[in-house]
Amino acid sequence: MSLWIIRVALIGAIAIGTSEASKEGSTEWREGDAFYEQLATPIGATWSGTRLADVATGLSRSYNVAIVLDRRVDPEQAVSFSVAERPLIDVLVELARRRDLGIYLLGSVACLCPPDTAERVEMAGRARRAEVLRLQSSARQRWSAKESMSWDELSTPRELLSQLAKQGRFEITNLERLPHDLWAAGHLPKLSLADRVSFVLGQFGLTYEISGDSKKIRLVAIPEASASERTRKAGDTAKHHVEQWKTAAKRAMRTKRSAQAKKSRTSGGKKEVRIEKFTAREVEIEPLLRQLTSRLELTLELDRKAIDLAGISLERRVTVSLQQVTPEEMFEEILAPLGLKATFSGKTVRISTLVKK
């Protein structure tokens, strides 16, 4: 079920891509490294005249990633396009581009917003986190503490901010600056206190300043965009950051795989094989796989039926450059963007399609 506020006069709306279960706090949102891993997951989907709120809800529900529509974004606008085996983050960027929106990340939340606000809100969030790092130890720990965030139907942002102030033991000196609004029920993954406050205020183009003793905050406007930002096309902000996000996602996956490999070496006593350097440019995927398995003294099995049903051509050409990777890591780097995976069993590697979660 999509969630968004019923508009009353000039009252704004916020739509959160979530399910009924998430209102009760039971959704297992991907957080931290797992969030970046999921952003790098190749997906395929088709929308034809689908409401934007439903697209956000569907993606959130399918991949357990919190996707938020800024209160200034119309959740009723139609979405029509198809994607095939592209990373989730690329799909979100394309969605933003097609609907003339911006996109930014706040902790483990992806936010779709008006095109001229993404860069500003993201910069304001970074500035607040940097400010927190300069606080004294006890205050820094309080502002860095991560908790999930939930609210009931027709909650007001002032109520949410007042609750955060109570939790964080600080006073808001000018709460009246926050406009009146009504929000639908929602639930977000764990965010630091600094990011939770930024989440609420960012919907109104506001941020905050922390007093020297960290016991008070003052609401202030997020600085206006520079001339270059005002002329930037919709989606450019997201494109500017997407490689950074992909790098974080790739780093998270490699950390996970390294931990798994270490566990395997410890339990099985098998000697790890690592590829010092591997480069291929515009090479057809099937000959490449056969050459690699031959060099690694592995037997190659291709699940051609599944691959053909998925519409994936083994004649596609790939370009890849890797260093210091295991065979498992190398095959994943090559195959995942194509919607394929490698399963190792002894000296056999079987190539089949990715199974969507």
* 298-307 pLDDT tens trace: 999 999 998 9
Rounded average pLDDT over 268-286: 72
CATH architecture of 273-357: 3-Layer(bab) Sandwich (3.55)
Residue 110 has what pLDDT? 92
Q: Which two tokens stand for residue 30?
A: 């991907």
Q: Which two tokens stand for residue 350?
A: 């079987």
Residue 342 has what pLDDT? 92
* 133-173 pLDDT tens trace: 999 989 999 999 999 999 988 889 999 999 999 999 999 99
Does the pTM surpass 0.75? The reply is no
Rounded average pLDDT over 5-10: 27
Under 8 Å CB-to-CB from 39, ≥6 apart: which residues? 65, 87, 88, 89, 110, 245, 246, 249
Mean pLDDT of all residues in the chain?
80
CB atoms within 10 A of CB 333: 18
Based on C-alpha coordinates, what's the Rg of the chain? 23
- Distance, in Å, from the CA atom of 338 to the CA atom of 154, rounded to the nearest integer, reads 43
- Distance, in Å, from the CA atom of 277 to the CA atom of 275, rounded to the nearest integer, reads 6
Confidence of residue 99 (pLDDT cuts 50, 70, 90): very high
Residue 242 has what pLDDT? 54
Rounded average pLDDT over 272-290: 80
Q: Where are the domains of the chain?
A: 15-240, 273-357
Residue 202 has what pLDDT? 94
Is the pLDDT reported for residue 188 higher than 90?
A: yes
Instruction: Please compute, for residue 282, the number of CA atoms within 13 A of its CA located in the half-sphere on the CB side.
Output: 0
